[in-house]
Structure 1
């Protein structure tokens, strides 16, 4: 990803997809975007160029048919880093084994192994190197 490139002024912004859009503050938004491309098949839709400290105020990704936004902390503007806590980003997927393996191979760690849950779906949880918890879910075919 060329982080020195200027945001395109000729390209219309990509539409925001999904009924609710997670906007995640991570310490290293550009690096997180690169990881999500490898781990979750994300496509980079837009980003603001990084500043002299290597931070960006906005990254827009598409993951599995929905939008995810990222930004770095800006403590000098009243937005200090806060470690992710108390939430999990759920990815309902088809072919969970492929998604799971790709995420682990890209650097995510297993928190809860894939298993058939009491509600009948295969489900597992992963944490990325930025501290964000991701879960994957796929209905079990009968």
Structure 2
């Protein structure tokens, strides 16, 4: 499999503990398509993983404390998915193992919106425009 360059102007690059498992989980929870998997070291940690979710790239790397990437808990951000069927995306992610942070509902600005946390500590937001 050949890695493809990012196609958007901003690509999240997330460090997680257990990227190989996370990539499989994201396929189940969010329909992720694997684009690349580059391993490094005798323990087969992934130095660069690339999945596509909802048409957008997400880059992933295991932690490498020995190279300046210490283990830290994800915090201070969420990965937002703007979709046309928020209920389907939300339900699939919950069925795969995400926990509900904020239930899916129509918010004051008119869009359907909710938040989930995956088993790796990443918060995901699911949004659907009121026009969809």
1:53 is displaced (CA, Å) by 1.9
The correspondence for 1:93, drawn from 63, 67, 83, is 83
1:94 is displaced (CA, Å) by 1.0
Contact persistence 1:111–1:127 (CA under 8 A) = yes
Alignment of 1:1-142 (within 5 A): 11=2, 13-49=3-39, 51-141=41-131
2:126 counterpart SS class = strand
**Which has the greater radius of gyration?**
1
Whole-Å Cα distance in 1 between the matches of residues 115 and 123 of structure 2? 7
1:120 is displaced (CA, Å) by 0.5
Q: How many aligned residue pairs are there? A: 132
Whole-Å Cα distance in 1 between the matches of residues 25 and 35 of structure 2? 15
Structure 1 unmatched runs, 5+? 1-7
Ranges of 4+ aligned residues in structure 1 off by more than 6 Å: none
1:2-56 CA deviation, whole Å, 9 max, x = no partner?
xxxxxx5xx4x31312221110000001111110000000000011035322311
Structure 2 unmatched runs, 5+? none
TM-score, normalised with respect to structure 1? 0.88
The alignment's C-alpha RMSD in Å is 1.4
